[in-house]
A and B are shown apart, each in its own frame.
Chain A
Amino acid sequence: MITYLQETDSRMVFPIPSGTYTQQMTNETFGEKPFLNFFSPAESRLIKPALDTLKTAKNKEVSKEAEKALLLIKETVSSFQQLSFDLTFLPAIRAFENEDGSVIIEWIFKDYRIGFGIEVDPSDSGWYLVTKRELGEISASGHTSNTNIRNTILWLLNFIVSHS
């Protein structure tokens, strides 16, 4: 069976490959709406190492912010997968704690890396993208406070897809 996902605004309909989600009927008696769990095991692998690091992080506030960012990345990846993008090549995201309690979330690829600095003072937190010479030595960064981080993640994921 092929399930279709309708994107509300454009009314475009995209087929969802079978096996990318599981359907759970939690309460059949009262006709509860089925809950679609779009997170595949591959997606769990995506942020698990980083989440494991955050469990032992010294600064719980920083850790909480870092976890939020990770879940947002996972959600964005998930939305791409719902549109049939093959993102199984994505390496796991890692988190590293600095001496001052800040955390760097890093997504490391062969010729580039993407990162998020989750700082002790949230107004200092930001993102970056750097590439090797092979990809033109792109070097971009910005603050995440007072910006729509969801749009930044979307832009970064578009970069990943177009350079895969």
Chain B
Amino acid sequence: MAYPNTFIRGISVREYLLEDGTVSASAFDFSQKTREDGWKSFSINWEDDENAGRFTLGQRKENGDIQFKAGYVVIPREEIDHLNHQPTVNGMLNYERQPLVDNPFHGNILARGNVPLPTLRRIQAGLTLIVSKIVHRD
């Protein structure tokens, strides 16, 4: 499957984007539950074209509230590939495209469900170090 060079992670919690231009590891919290195929996940939008960012900021919850109140961050796909090939990560990560009826950009970053939580937190922190762009809503 073809993937673009970058993906977007929408940020709902304002505190996760810090005033010094960094982002908290909490912004990349994986789902508590492990899927039937053995992966945990968090949602992303693939940056297929220049509309993906604007689309992400425009996403709304079922109740009409803005989904990503803080903004979003961008991560290059090659950086996550590089991270995944590190000896201390070694294939624990993956990604997928999963378009939804109302979101053609949608996908997931995946982590193996049997990864201990301290390792998962370390991977989350590793993701913060490869963020290439932060877009604040305001």
Interface-side segment among A62-70, A95-103, A153-161: A95-103
Given A128-B122, A139-B88, 18 additional A-B pairs, CB 8 A:
A53-B15, A96-B26, A99-B29, A104-B26, A106-B25, A108-B18, A113-B25, A113-B128, A113-B129, A117-B121, A125-B118, A126-B117, A128-B125, A130-B129, A131-B129, A132-B129, A140-B122, A141-B119
In angstroms, Cα B22 to Cα A18, docked, is 36
Does B126 make an interface contact (CB < 8 A)? Answer: yes
B125 to chain A, nearest CB (A): 5
Residues of A within 8 A of B (CB): 53, 94, 96-100, 104, 106, 108, 113, 115, 117, 119, 124-132, 137, 139-144
* B129 nearest CB neighbor, chain A only: A132
Do B117 and A124 have beta carbons less than 8 Å apart? yes
**B34-69, CB < 8 A from A:** none
Residues of B within 8 A of A (CB): 13, 15-16, 18, 20, 22, 24-26, 29, 32, 86, 88-89, 116-119, 121-122, 124-126, 128-129
B25 partner residues in chain A, CB cutoff 8 A: 96, 104, 106, 113, 115
B67 to chain A, nearest CB (A): 14
Number of A-B contacts (CB under 8 A): 75
The 6 closest A-B pairs by CB, nearest first: A126-B118, A128-B122, A141-B122, A96-B26, A117-B121, A139-B88
Do B18 and A139 have beta carbons less than 8 Å apart? no
Do A139 and B26 have beta carbons less than 8 Å apart? no
Do A96 and B128 have beta carbons less than 8 Å apart? no
In angstroms, Cα B121 to Cα A127, docked, is 8
In angstroms, Cα B94 to Cα A7, docked, is 51
Offer 30 A-B interface pairs, CB within 8 angstroms, sorted by A: A94-B24, A96-B13, A96-B24, A96-B26, A98-B26, A98-B29, A99-B29, A104-B24, A104-B26, A104-B124, A106-B24, A106-B125, A108-B18, A115-B25, A117-B117, A119-B117, A126-B116, A126-B117, A126-B118, A128-B125, A130-B122, A130-B126, A130-B129, A139-B86, A139-B89, A139-B122, A140-B88, A140-B122, A141-B122, A143-B116
